[in-house]
Amino acid sequence: MSGISDALKAIKTAILLEERILSQSKKLEQLAENVVEMDKRLSALEGRMDGFLAAASAFGSGARRPAKLIEAAQKERPGAPPTKEN
């Protein structure tokens, strides 16, 4: 009788694991859809910003595309904490 109960426990565990996997799979699909949607929105915003900057430069305002924080040197970042220089 012990062998049958062990087999039933193993089957129950396998079914529960399958349900968890299906649940996580659905969550992952939803997350992937959200990432794609956010990427589309970001691309649209980047396009608008490029258009605004192109229009501003066409009218001679001298506006240029600002550097990303990663690209900017430490001393060029507004509000950046001071660094120790050797």
Summarised one tens digit per residue, pLDDT across range 23-41 is 999 999 999 999 999 999 9
* pLDDT > 70? residue 74: no
Average pLDDT over residues 43-71: 75
In this structure, is residue 36 part of a structural domain?
Answer: yes
Residue 68 lies in a domain: yes
Give the pLDDT score at 73.
55
Tell me the pLDDT of the chain averaged across its residues: 81
For residue 11, the enclosing domain spans 2-76
Q: Is residue 13 part of a domain?
A: yes
Q: Residue 29 domain-assigned?
A: yes
**Domain assignment of residue 81, yes or no:** no
Number of domains in the chain: 1
Reference 66, options 15, 13, 81, 57; nearest CA is 57
d(CA 58, CA 83): 38
Q: Indicate whether 12 belongs to any domain.
A: yes
